Structure 1
Amino acid sequence: MSKSIIIIGGGIVGLSTAYFLQKEGHQVTVIDKSDITSGASFVNAGYITPSHIIPLASPGMIRTGLKMMFNSSSPFYMKPRWDPDFFKWSWYFHKSSTKEKVEEAIPVIKDINILSRELYTDIKKSGDLGDFQLERKGLLMLYKTHKCYEHEIKVAKKASFLGLEVKELGKQELSIVEPNIAIDAEGAIHYECDGHTTPTEFMPKMVEHLKKAGLQIKTNEEVVDLTEKNSQIQSIKTTKTTYTADEVILAAGSWSGILSKILDIKLPLQAGKGYRINVHRPTGISLPAILMEAKMAVTPMNGFTRFAGTMEFSGINDTIRKERVLAIANGAKAFYPELEIRADEIANAQTGMRPVTPDGLPYIGRCQRLKNLTFATGHAMMGWSLGPATGKLVSEIIDGKKTSMHIDAFHPERRFN
C-alpha cells in the first residue's frame, strides 16, 4: 500500500532512502535545510569500503583524543568545551571502545558495507542516474612505520578471514601499481575489495533522477518543530509550511540529535567535522589511498584528486580551521613528495559534518514510542559507503519486509552503558 513519507535530510542517506522508497510506489517528500550542494555528502572521500571493519570506537581512541585535544591541527581533535551532551557521548564512547564490542561490530560492519557495494552496482546497472564514476580499484593503506604496518596487518588478516580480498605490497610493487607518482612509503596493504566514486557527480544525478520520478525535494527549508499525538508524529513544521505524513524518516545527519530532542528522544550523536582539498589538475595518482601516519584519504575522482580527512569534535559549525587544512596538505606532501598543493587549492577547502554515534555503528530502525518514526543516521565516516544499504533497509522496514541483513546492532535506542 502506498504511503506518504517525509524524509528529513537530503544527504546520501536521505536520497538513497527516497530512491528505494519511490521504487516501492510510495509518495516521498525530502526536506533539507540546505540547497543540497554542500556538506558531508559532497566533501567526503567517496569510498565504498568493506575493508573498514573496525569502528571508530575502538580501544585507545579516547586516550588518543585526550592527547591531541590541545593540538588543533591533529588528525583527531576534540575542542575543549563545556557541553554536557558531549561529556555523556564521550563516556558512552569510552564504554563502547572495548575489544569485545569491536569484535561484535566487525562482521556487522562488513555485511552492511558489502550490501551497499552491491547496491551501488545495481544503481549503476539500472541506468537511472545515467553514467557516473564507480570504480573497483581497491584501497591502499600506505604506511611509513613498522608500528602502522603491525596495526594494519592485524586488520588485514581479520578482513581476509571474513572473505575480503587483501594483498600486501612492498615498495617495488607500489611503484608498479602507481607508476606515475613517487610514493614515500615502506609499503601498503591493498584492500582490493573496495571501490570509489565521485560524490559531487553522484549527488546531483540522484537529485535529478528523483525529481524526474515525481518526488518532491524541498531545499532551503529547515524543520523547526515536530508534534506528536497518539504515539505518532502528527506534523512537521518547517520555516515555510507544515506537513503531515504516514511515515517520517529522520536522516538529518549531525542535526538528527537536535531534532530528536524536540520529541524528547535522547539520541547520543556528535558532529565530527571533516575537511577536503580538491586538486583540479593531473597528479599521477590513480589509486585511492589512506595515508596512515597522516590519517587522511586520497581519491582520484572524475576531473580532480581529492585529499580529505581529520575528525574534529567542536560542535556543529562551519568554521574552517586553516591549520587543519594545512595538515592535510602537509600530509599529502609527506607521502607524495613530488606533489605540491597550491595556496589557492588550500584556500578553496571545504568542510562537512559527519554524525558520529558512541559505538561507531549507525542508527537504523523504528522508534519504539513513535510508531511512524524511523531513524537513518549516525554513519560517521562511512556515510557515503553505507548510503544505499541504509536506504534499502529503511524501505524494507517501512514495508514490513524481511530486511536484507540483521539490523539489531543498529537499533536507535540501544544502550551504551
Structure 2
Amino acid sequence: MGKNILIIGGGIIGLSSAYFLQKEGHRVTVVDKSDITSGASFVNAGYITPSHIIPLASPGVIAKGIRMMFDSASPFYMKPRWDTEFFKWVWYFHKSATKAKVEKAIPVIRDINLLSRDLFTEIRESKDLGTFQLERKGLLMLYKTKASYDHEMEVARRAGDMGLEVSELDKGRLQAIEPKVKIDAEGAIHYECDGHMTPTQFMPKMVRYLEEVGVRIKRKEEVLDIVASAQGISEIKTDKNTYSVDELVLSAGSWSGNLAKKLHVELPLQGGKGYRINVKRPTGIGLPAILMEANIAVTPMVGFTRFAGTMEFSGLNAVVRKERVAAIAAGAKRFYPEVDITEEEKGLARTGLRPVSPDGLPYIGKSKKFKNLTFATGHAMMGWSLGPATGKLVAELITGKKTSMDIAPFDPGRTF
C-alpha cells in the first residue's frame, strides 16, 4: 500500500519527485503557490552539466562579490542590506569556500549530475511525456583572455581526469563547429559530456503526464502552516485546504528556508536571482555556450535562443533590474557581434530565484527532527540538471530502498 505524500513546490525538483514517487505506487499531491508557469524552472539555461564540478562556494567568490557589491549590473551582485540571516549565510559560505571542501565536493557533484543525465534519457525513452528536446551537443566555454583560458583549463583537466569528455578548440575549430554565427572569441573548451533542453517545453509535459496518472497538482495554494508533533508531521494547511499526510517533501526552492522555520528547523538558504532573455528570431547559434568574461549562458532552445545569467542576492523578489538585463545583452553582443538583442526582447526579460545553500551542495535527505519530512532543495545553479536525480533519490528514501548514490554529502542537517 503506497503512502499519502504531499510535495511543497512544483518546480523541476518537486515534479521530478512526484514522477518517481508515483512510479513507486504512492499517492502524491503537489502544492505550489504559483500557477507553475514561471520561476527558476522556466527561466534557466536548460543545461545538463556534469562539467560543472566546482561548487559555487569556492575560494575567491566572496571577495569577488564584495568587489561587485555596489555595481548592480555586475554578474555577481549582493545588494547591500541589513539582514541577519543573509549575514549568517555569507559566513557559512565563507567557511565552505575552501580548497579542501571544494575537492571533497567535486566527485559528488559529478556523480549526481551523471545520474541525472541518465535519468533524463530514461524519461525520454519511456515516452511518458511524449517527445521533448534533449540534446548532447556539449557545452562551449568561450574565452577572450588568457586568464580565462588558464582558469578553465584547470577545470577541464580535472574533468578529463575524472572521465568526463572534454576537448580544446582553437579559433578555427570553434568557427568550424559553429558555422552559422560569427563568434568573437579566442577559442573554447568543449565539454562534450553536457547536454541541454528547453525547460518551457519539458515542464508542461511533465505536469500533464503527472495529472494523467493521478498525481494531484494544486496551483495557487500557499502553505500557511505545517502541523507537527513528536510523532512527525500530520497536516499541511494552505489558504484553501487542509491535507493529511504520511510523508512531506519540502522542495519549495528559495522559499524552503522560510517554510522550515515553521517547524523550527534551520535550513540556511538564499535566493540567487537569475535573468533570461529569449530571442525568437534565428541567431545561427547551434551549440550551448558560456561566455566566460561576461558570465552569460546561451542556449539554442526549441523556437528561440536563450541568453541567461547573473547571480543576484537581493532577497525573495522577482524585480527585473533593467541594468542587469542590459548587461546580458551587451555581453552577448561582445561574443556574437552580429546578434542584436532588441529593446522589446529586453523588455520581456524574466527572472527566477535559485535556492543556494552555503556550500553549493543541495539538501537532499530526511530530517533529523521529523521522521516523515524529506528535504529536496538548495540546488543553486544546478537545479535543472539535478531534477531527475533528486526525484529518484527522494523516492528511494521514502520507499525505503537503497539510494542510487551516497547522499551523506547532501545531509540537510550538516554543519557549516
TM (norm. structure 1) is 0.99
SS in 2 for 1:293: helix
User: 2:36 is aligned with what amino acid?
Assistant: I
Query: Does residue 51 in structure 1 map to residue 30 in structure 2?
Result: no
> Aligned partner of 1:280: which letter?
K
Aligned to 1:75: 75
- Corresponding residue for 1:410? 410
Give the share of equivalent positions with the same residue, in percent: 71
Describe the SS at the equivalent of 1:237.
strand
**Residue-by-residue CA offset, 1:379-416 (whole Å, 9 max, x unaligned):** 00000000000000000000111100000000001000
Partner of 1:374: 374
Once the 2 structures are TM-superposed, how far is the Cα of residue 182 of structure 1 from its aligned partner? 0.6
What is the DSSP-based 3-state SS (H/G/I as helix, E as strand, rest coil) of the residue aligned with 1:51?
Answer: coil
1:30-179 aligned within 5 A? 30-179=30-179
- The residue identity in structure 2 corresponding to 1:120 is F
Offset of residue 230 of structure 1: 2.4
1:394 aligns with 394
Q: Does 1:315 align with 2:315?
A: yes
Contact residue 7 and residue 31 of structure 1 kept, 8 A:
yes
Answer whether contact 1:231 1:369 (CA < 8 A) is retained. Answer: no
Q: 1-side partners of 2:24 and 2:234: how far apart?
A: 23
Could you tell me how far apart the structure 1 residues matched to 2:48 and 2:355 are? 18
The aligned amino acid for 2:288 is P
Secondary structure in 2 matching 1:311: strand
Name the CA distance, whole Å, in 2 between partners of 1:214 and 1:113: 29
Instruction: Give the distance between the partners of 2:131 and 2:192, measured in 1 at CA.
Output: 23
Separation in structure 2 between the aligned mates of residue 150 and residue 100 of structure 1, nearest angstrom: 21
Name the structure 2 match of 1:184: 184
Q: Does 1:234 align with 2:234?
A: yes
Find the aligned partners of 2:231 and 2:350 in 1 and give their Cα distance: 41
Residue 291 in structure 1 maps to residue 291 in structure 2: yes
Secondary structure in 2 matching 1:278: strand
Q: What's the CA shift for 1:49?
A: 0.2
- The residue number in structure 2 matching 1:332 is 332
**What is the deviation of 1:318?**
1.0
SS of residue matched to 1:29: strand
Aligned length: 416
Structure-1 residue corresponding to 2:2: 2
Per-residue CA deviations over 1:135-173 (Å, capped at 9, x if unaligned) read 000000000000000100000000000000000000000
What is the CA-CA distance between 1:34 and the residue it aligns to? 0.2
2:208: which partner in 1? 208
Structure 1 stretches of 4+ moved >2 Å: none
- Compute the displacement of 1:96 (Å): 0.2
Which residue number in structure 2 is paired with residue 20 of structure 1?
A: 20
Contact 1:139 1:190 in 2 (8 A): yes
Amino acid in structure 2 at the alignment position of 1:276:
R
Q: Which residue of 2 aligns with 1:197?
A: 197
- 1:11–1:36 contact (8 Å) kept in structure 2: yes
Amino acid across the alignment from 2:350: Q
Q: Distance in 2 between matches of 1:109 and 1:231?
A: 34
Describe the SS at the equivalent of 2:294: coil
Deviations 1:215-261 (A, max 9, x none): 10000001011111123012111010111110000000000000000
Q: Could you say which residue in structure 1 is the equivalent of 2:306?
A: 306
SS in 1 for 2:293: coil
Task: Deviation per CA, 1:340-365: give whole Å up to 9, x if none.
Answer: 00110000000000000000000000
Q: Write the letter of the residue equivalent to 1:306.
A: R
2:29 partner SS: strand
Whichever residue aligns with residue 109 of structure 1, its letter is I
In structure 1, the residue corresponding to 2:19 is in which secondary structure? helix
C-alpha distance in structure 2 between counterparts of 1:263 and 1:320, whole Å = 32
**What is the deviation of 1:311?**
0.2
Question: Structure 2 unaligned runs (5+)?
Answer: none
Q: TM-score, normalized by length of structure 2? A: 1.00
Distance of 2:399 and 2:45 partners within structure 1: 32
Query: Once superposed, what is the RMSD of the aligned Cα atoms?
Result: 0.4
